[in-house]
Amino acid sequence: MDAARLLAVLRPHFEATGARWMLAGGFAVAAWGSARTTLDLDLVVDEGPRDALVPRIVAEGFEVCNDAEGFTNLQHPDPALGRLDLLWVKGETSRQLFEAATSRSGPDAKPILVPKPEHLIAMKLRAIQSRAARVIRDGPDLQHLLGLPGIDHNEVRGYFEKAGLAELYDRLKTPL
């Protein structure tokens, strides 16, 4: 996957529809200094312009694989553009995520919004809740994020507890 090329395709559509968006998933963790590789691009997008945005992306050759409340998965036949996962947020969740987001250097070397580490952790915990086996892939990401300077461990511990994963927090915080 060529994330820089994919972002070059997507950015004009976000701008034209006024969609607020930011990195998520592996590229967001990488923006926080992890050496993690990923095969898809995950983006958090404010749900407001969803009905205008998805057809524009489909017009670029993407096929909708799954479109449900909260997310849309798309695939492009060109492997360089690959898989795109849009995580839709609205209301208070959207407000909190975008207000706390920070600008980092994206895969295309342009400034791009990324969730604060605490919010990335919360997203990864939701993914683990929906599929426990994801802890194998997401555990190292969580450990990296937990080790970042300035992280609010009280906030993060609350996310782990709310997800029923308090013991995972304890394991990840313990150095190997």
Amino acid 134: pLDDT: 86
- The tokens describing 170, both together, are 């304890």
Asked if residue 93 and residue 13 are part of one domain, the reply reads yes
**Per-run averaged pLDDT (10 residues), the chain, 176 residues:** 94 97 93 82 96 98 95 96 96 96 89 96 91 86 93 95 92 72
> Is the backbone of residue 151 left (phi > 0), alpha (psi -120 to 50) or beta?
beta
The amino acid present at 162, given as its one-letter code, is K
Asked if residue 8 and residue 63 are part of one domain, the reply reads yes
**Last residue of some domain: 86, 115, 144?**
115
Supply the pTM of this predicted model.
Answer: 0.90
Q: Structurally, how many domains does the chain consist of?
A: 2
Please tell me the distance from the alpha carbon of residue 113 to that of residue 101, in angstroms, as a whole number: 6
Q: Which residue has the tokens 């983006």?
A: 43
Please tell me the distance from the alpha carbon of residue 142 to that of residue 46, in angstroms, as a whole number: 24
pLDDT tens digits for 118-146?
Answer: 999 999 999 898 888 888 888 889 999 99
Asked if residue 25 and residue 40 are part of one domain, the reply reads yes
Please tell me the distance from the alpha carbon of residue 165 to that of residue 130, in angstroms, as a whole number: 12
Range of the domain at 81: 1-115
Asked if residue 64 and residue 3 are part of one domain, the reply reads yes
Amino acid 175: pLDDT: 58
